[in-house]
Amino acid sequence: MAANFWTSSHATHWILDRRRLEEAMKEDLEYVDIATLTKIKMWYYNIIGKIGKRLQFRQQVVATAIVYFKRFYTKNSMRSTDPSLVAATCIYLACKIEECPQHIKHIITEMKNALANHGGFDYDTSKVAEFEFYLLEELEFYLIVYHPYRDLTIIAKNLKLEESNLQTACMATKKGVHHNAPQIEGHGINNRNMVQWFADLNVEIEEIIEITQEILSLYSIWKDYSEESIPAMIQSLKRPSRPTTPQQLQQQLLPQQQQQQQQQQQ
Amino acid sequence: MSMTEYKAKRDSCRQKIASKYDILGFISSGTYGRVYKAKSKNKDDGKEYAIKKFKPDKEGEAATYIGISQSACREIALCRELHHENIVGLQEVLLEDKSIHMVFEYAEHDLLQIIGFHSHPERKFMSEYTIKSFLWQLLNGVAYLHANWVMHRDLKPANILVTANGVVKVGDLGLARLFYKPLQPLFNGDKVVVTIWYRAPELLLGSRHYTKAIDIWAIGCIFAELITLRPIFKGEEAKVENKKTVPFQKNQLQKIFDILGNPTKERWPTIDQQPEYPNLSSFRQTPNILRSLYQSWPIKSDQGCNLLAAMLEYDPAKRITAEEALNHPYFQEDPKPGMDSFAGQPVEFPLRRITNEDKDMRATAPVQKAHPVPAVKDDRTTKRPRVE
């Protein structure tokens, strides 16, 4: 575990394949497109970050809370759950696991402030505490999360990178999907002969390319991200389901018609 | 929007404990909650388990539920990652009745119970083989914890479990935590760690930044206790008067000094940096009598004494590590330690007593008969101090 990432539950249970991630988004994608869904998620990550700042958490606590949030949504749709309750509970649990427990009331107060102009936060202590059970279950009780910050610092030192490169890499890991430290490093390093360095890493170049592409597409979504547009996006994600095809509509109406016919016959 | 639908969906697919386990009886209770003995209903498994049911963490007069306790959080998080022969294995975690239930592999004995059995009705010492096997396996488990940056922080006989096959299982990780680059000083999290008799001198002197060496001190105390069947430093705990200040444990330090002599700057160069250092001038001067005391004990090995002294080293920086202790010459000489601590022993230990009195999780199967044990009232179990 702590001494070895590869034997940790993070490595053995929580590196998910693309198919599973796509499966988790299926329901949401019937209502919004992938760019919109990504932006909505970013918005919630930002909420978690804001609350972390307000309560003066270390970055690691915020990162753990965000990973919990992401893991929850690899099994559930955003549509059928309330991400604000999930986010608040993730923060509460992450504080305990990272050994800087916060009173549940502080988190709820900050959540209310952060969502004051975005539909509010209608949950009290007992609701958040109750939801902690569900969250634990979804996380399969695997609570220790690895973050690449330590590795980033070490590698930056090895490569004599500047602070700004490191910042970029940190941002990329925060917003990114994968948590596989060395592979993300490649980003932000230019003008250097990296061939030997990558060879020493002992990771597949295909994987690095895939992750680089992932990060690039994330950046392109991020480019036109604006906070003001998020509420409307959430609304369209949460809009009531309605039959999408004429056939489905027909099926829904069928029982009514039959009833009417029966009534007419009587 | 409401999460009713989501919850209903989750609630409906949750398996009932009673559908997976037969509750055989109630084992014990503590501040954390209660422990039950259970047996898997699965015919292919059929193994016995200990189910630890946590009390919900409540607060205030209205007793509002405020989520799972820090202690349960730690134990779940760590046990879920740790896999080692000498660390108690976590089978699964179940939710029911608004409580966390941790299902552990079952261990028939613990060192407190074994020491008690050897002390009553009259004292009969344990064989050196058994002691050495307990000690080696305990060190083996703790070396694994330390290699994974986990400090146990509550090692004491009651928390060292032993299976019916004589295999040591370090248990109760409710105070354990990761110590790799902590976000804040360890002291800020928990003001008091380790049960008083097993508490290392640096903790008693108010150290803010203690290390994994505190676990080794506790193991040294347990080693001595396995030999003599009495706690080596049996001090009186000064009561905590308010939650903000930690009282100075003068009596406990005196018990340590009575055997190891007063700590000096020579033996412990950084002792003057300890917050309670000024208090040390009030102690009488005593010599180190550990070696002569050891001579009066039933184990005659000099290497055993060397190992004990190395674990009870004042300076945490000089104290032997678990890894070094495993390679100590004491374990090279006969009798060599084994994975079955009871091998070749004529003693038959009583089984863990379980009762049917508990009203909470009623036994679903008849309580099995334990070996007949004389009903000795063991003051050690009732008066032994606990870390809250």
When pLDDT is averaged across residues A177-194 and rounded to a whole number, the result is: 47
Q: Please indicate whether, in this complex, the C-beta atoms of B66 and A125 are within 8 angstroms of each other.
A: yes
Tell me which residues of chain B have a pLDDT lower than 50.
1, 368-386, 388
Q: Taking CA atoms, what residue in B is nearest to A138?
A: B10
Binning pLDDT at 50, 70 and 90, where does residue A174 land?
A: very low
pLDDT, position A222: 87
Q: Residue A3: which of B93, B148, B182 has the nearest Cβ?
A: B148
Question: Which DSSP letter does residue B283 get?
Answer: S
Q: Residue B77: which of A76, A129, A143 has the nearest Cβ?
A: A143
Test the A interface: residue of B4, B6, B14 with most A CBs within 10 Å = B6
Separation between Cα atoms, residue A2 and residue A7, nearest integer Å: 9
Q: Residue B76: which of A125, A131, A143 has the nearest Cβ?
A: A143
Q: Residue B76: which of A8, A104, A141 has the nearest Cβ?
A: A141
Q: What is the 3-state secondary structure (H, E, C) of B292-341?
A: HHHHCCCCCCHHHHHHHHHHCCCCCCCCCCHHHHHCCHHHCCCCCCCCCC
Q: Taking CA atoms, what residue in A is nearest to B11?
A: A134
Binning pLDDT at 50, 70 and 90, where does residue A245 land?
A: low
Tell whether the model's pLDDT for residue A146 goes beyond 80. yes
pLDDT, position B383: 39
Chain B residues in contact with A82 (beta carbon < 8 A): 1-3
Q: Which residues contact A15 (CB under 8 A, 6 or more apart)?
A: A178, A180
Separation between Cα atoms, residue B119 and residue B103, nearest integer Å: 31
Separation between Cα atoms, residue B205 and residue B250, nearest integer Å: 9
End-to-end CA distance of chain A: 73
Average pLDDT, chain A: 82
Prediction pTM value:
0.84
A265 at the B interface (CB within 8 A)? no
Q: Please indicate whether, in this complex, the C-beta atoms of A2 and B180 are within 8 angstroms of each other.
A: yes
Note whether A66 and A8 are within 8 A (CB). Answer: no
pLDDT, position B35: 93
pLDDT, position B197: 96
A154 at the B interface (CB within 8 A)? no
Question: Which DSSP letter does residue B174 get?
Answer: S
A130 at the B interface (CB within 8 A)? yes
Q: Which residue has the higher pLDDT, B371 or A59?
A: A59
Tell whether the model's pLDDT for residue A188 goes beyond 50. no
pLDDT, position B272: 94
Burial class (CB in 10 A: 0-12, 13-18, 19+), B38: buried
Which residues between 183 and 242 in chain A have a beta carbon less than 8 angstroms from any beta carbon of chain B?
A: 238
Q: Which residues contact B231 (CB under 8 A, 6 or more apart)?
A: B197, B221, B225
Binning pLDDT at 50, 70 and 90, where does residue A177 land?
A: very low
Residues of B acting as catalytic residues: 154
Beta strands B160-162; B58-59: pairing state: unpaired
Q: Which residues contact B77 (CB under 8 A, 6 or more apart)?
A: A97, A143, A144
Separation between Cα atoms, residue B153 and residue B209, nearest integer Å: 13
Question: Which two tokens mark B142?
Answer: 């703790």
Return the minimum-mean-pLDDT range out of A8-12, A50-54, A176-180, B288-292.
A176-180
CA distance A196 to chain B (A): 31
Chain A residues in contact with B3 (beta carbon < 8 A): 81-82, 85, 131
When pLDDT is averaged across residues A243-260 and rounded to a whole number, the result is: 57
Separation between Cα atoms, residue B102 and residue B81, nearest integer Å: 14
pLDDT, position A153: 79
When pLDDT is averaged across residues A158-183 and rounded to a whole number, the result is: 56
When pLDDT is averaged across residues A257-266 and rounded to a whole number, the result is: 60
A60 at the B interface (CB within 8 A)? yes
Separation between Cα atoms, residue B89 and residue B79, nearest integer Å: 7
Separation between Cα atoms, residue B271 and residue B236, nearest integer Å: 23
Q: pLDDT tens-digit profile of B344-358?
A: 877 677 888 888 766
Residue B189 main-chain phi, psi, to 5 deg: -75, -55
Separation between Cα atoms, residue B257 and residue B235, nearest integer Å: 11
Beta bridge partners of B105: B49
End-to-end CA distance of chain B: 40
Give the ipTM of the model, two decimals please. 0.83
Burial class (CB in 10 A: 0-12, 13-18, 19+), A250: exposed
Q: Taking CA atoms, what residue in A is nearest to B97?
A: A133
Q: Which residue has the higher pLDDT, B157 or A21?
A: B157
Binning pLDDT at 50, 70 and 90, where does residue A193 land?
A: low
